Amino acid sequence: MSTKIHQLVDGRGRPLVIAVTAGQAGDSTMLKPLLAQLAVRRLGPGRPRTRPLALLGDKAYSSRATRALLRARGIKAVIPQRADEIGHRKRRGTAGGRPPNFDPVAYKRRNVIERSFNTHKQWRGIATRYDKHAVNYRGGVVLRAITIWLAT
């Protein structure tokens, strides 16, 4: 059975929320549960932060539902549009509406996310997935996340 790691990371590539799902699970369907689990404690008094300033994602997250979810939570979406979405919008003409805002300068920071995945996969047990049960595999992923936090 293949598995997939889904995670939200901070600007330094440190994991904030981790989920392990079946390999065929889509990325965009996991965004809502991951955002629901997000809670970053403040250094001083106050409630934990549950809303990031921006969410950087690849084209797999480009959908109307994802953008509506982020807009409702007040999170800036830095997600490029897929080519088919651009074509559909242009084909509809003025009825297609405006293209969503996209900040290409902020999107250049998305490599932090990819490097975080690569840092996880440097552990042989995570890269090769020797564990028979997903619970054990998730334990290894969480342990790796702890070591990443301790190293920074």
Mean pLDDT, the chain cut into blocks of 10 residues (152 residues total): 84 92 82 93 91 92 92 94 91 89 92 90 84 87 93 86
pLDDT for 91 equals 92
pLDDT for 1 equals 57
Residue 64 to residue 85: CA distance in whole angstroms: 10
Helices 111-121 and 134-151, axial angle in degrees (round to 10): 120
- Please report, for the chain, the start and end positions of each structural domain, with discontinuous segments joined by +: 3-151
pLDDT for 2 equals 75
Q: Is 56 left (phi over 0), alpha (psi -120 to 50) or beta?
A: beta
